[in-house]
């Protein structure tokens, strides 16, 4: 039985920078209000016609494959995490297979929103441990900006999210003490509607309903978030799942060299950092520059931390996420 490890990382964000001051010109908000509540200063938005969820994922994947030192045809399987696919169906996994020009490898789409990349790493880890696949490409990519309510009505959600993609190539590790040590996944559907996008949906409002009504006041196709409720649940679940991973491996918070939390809100990350007694050098945040990129946030942050030399061989790296579903999870890695 093998372990799995991350052999290559890459990320891509659009060039178009949208600052808090830019948003204040189209909705009733300001830089101070946004930074105080979220820590975000700016985010990236796709210029229409220049990028898609898939194309951003492909660009991130190309970097990850190159850094892994393998040929693209060495990829055995694709895992693509997103809540913003190019099409309602098919999912973007097969579009990546096509656009990268890969062999007819399998492609799996994961819809676990902010926890998507953690879930994807867990799936890839199990495939590699079982010996079924050797090299698995895991992508998290999101294009939020085209689906947000960019008015004062939607500011509580729209100021938070940005576009971007991150990718990792996972491969076999012979040393059982290195690579992914364990993954931990959870869900609680009881609170599904507290962070959701209801339409289009077979259960409530379908595309034909929206088109037929043509109601400009219909907000069912915009994201909804009960911010305070999500925050309160997030800080609890983040703490629980990080401790679960540490305890499984007979570790403590003092063993953490780098924590990469999902970039949902800087205040959540700061709360977790303080609770675990971690220094600024032990936690990596980049939400200030990119906003919340959902499934892409952890691979983008992980890549930036690695590029900056903040992650070294032998380090204990912890990935943790919480989001819509509710879903949450953690990954414990010996780099």
Q: Say how many C-beta atoms besides its own lie within 10 A of residue 60's C-beta.
A: 28
Residue with tokens 């289009």: 200
Q: What is the mean pLDDT of residues 65-71?
A: 98
pLDDT band at 126 (very low <50, low <70, confident <90, very high): very high
Q: Per-residue pLDDT for 207 more than 70?
A: no
Angle at 60 between CA 298 and CA 171, to 5 degrees: 75
Q: 199 vs 296, which has greater pLDDT?
A: 296
Residue 211 has pLDDT above 80, yes or no: no
Q: What is the mean pLDDT of the chain?
A: 94
Cα–Cα distance for residue pair 116/112, rounded to 1 Å: 4
Q: Is 80 exceeded by the pLDDT of residue 124?
A: yes
Active-site annotation holds for 144: no
> What pLDDT was estimated at residue 220?
72
Is 146 tagged catalytic? no
**How much is the pLDDT for 197?**
84
* Residue located via tokens 């303080």: 274
Q: Which of 184, 262, 265, 285 is catalytic?
A: 262
Residue 237, token pair as written in the block: 């679940």
Distance in angstroms (rounded) separating the CA atoms of residues 36 and 48? 30
Question: Per-residue pLDDT tens for 36-56?
Answer: 999 999 999 999 999 999 999
User: Which residue among 20, 112, 114, 144 is the active-site one?
Assistant: 114
Portion of the chain with pLDDT greater than 90, in percent: 88
Task: Indicate whether 155 pLDDT > 80.
Answer: yes
Question: Which tens digit of pLDDT belongs to each residue from 7-21?
Answer: 999 999 999 999 999
- The reply to whether 114 belongs to the active site is yes
At 318 the pLDDT is 98
- Percentage of the chain lying above the pLDDT 70 cut: 96
Work out whether the CA dihedral 107, 120, 317, 165 comes out positive or negative. Answer: positive
pLDDT value at residue 206:
60
What's the pLDDT score for residue 204? 61
Domains of the chain in start order, with CATH, are 3-173 (3.40.47.10), 179-334 (3.40.47.10)
Computed from CA positions of residues 130, 132, 112, 150, in that sequence, does the dihedral angle turn out positive or negative? Answer: positive
Residue of 243, 259, 262, 254 lying closest to 326 (CA atoms):
262
- 215-240 mean pLDDT: 86
pLDDT band at 202 (very low <50, low <70, confident <90, very high): low
pLDDT band for position 208 (50/70/90)?
low
The residue-averaged pLDDT of 219-232 equals: 84
């Amino acid at each position: 039985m093998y372990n799995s490890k991350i052999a290559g990382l890459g990320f891509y964000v659009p060039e178009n920078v949208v600052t808090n001051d830019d948003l204040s010109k189209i909705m009733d908000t300001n830089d101070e209000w946004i930074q105080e509540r979220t820590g975000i200063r700016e985010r990236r938005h796709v210029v229409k016609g220049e990028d898609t969820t898939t194309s951003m994922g492909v660009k991130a994947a190309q970097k990850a494959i190159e850094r892994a030192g393998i040929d693209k045809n060495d990829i055995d399987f694709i895992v693509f995490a997103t809540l913003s696919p190019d099409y309602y169906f098919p999912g973007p996994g097969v579009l990546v297979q096509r656009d990268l020009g890969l062999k007819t490898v399998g492609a799996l789409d994961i819809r676990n929103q902010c926890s998507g990349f953690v879930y994807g790493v867990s799936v890839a880890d199990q495939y590699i441990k079982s010996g079924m696949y050797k090299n698995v490409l895991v992508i998290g990519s999101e294009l939020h900006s085209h689906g947000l309510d960019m008015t004062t009505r939607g500011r509580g959600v729209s100021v938070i999210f940005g576009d971007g993609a991150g990718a990792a190539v996972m491969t076999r590790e012979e040393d059982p003490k290195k690579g992914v040590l364990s993954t931990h996944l959870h869900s609680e559907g009881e609170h599904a509607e507290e962070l959701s996008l209801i339409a289009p949906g077979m259960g409530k409002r379908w595309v034909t309903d929206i088109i037929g009504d043509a109601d400009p006041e219909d907000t069912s196709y915009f994201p909804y978030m009960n911010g305070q409720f999500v925050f309160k649940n997030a800080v609890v679940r983040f703490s629980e799942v990080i401790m679960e991973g540490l305890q499984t491996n007979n570790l403590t918070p003092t063993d953490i060299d780098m924590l990469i939390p999902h970039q949902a809100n800087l205040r959540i990350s700061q709360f977790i950092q303080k609770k675990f007694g971690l220094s600024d050098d032990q936690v990596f945040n980049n939400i200030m520059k990119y906003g919340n990129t959902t499934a892409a946030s952890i691979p983008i942050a992980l890549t930036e931390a690695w590029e900056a030399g903040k992650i070294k061989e032998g380090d204990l790296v912890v990935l943790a996420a919480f989001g819509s579903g509710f879903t949450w999870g953690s990954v414990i890695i010996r780099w």
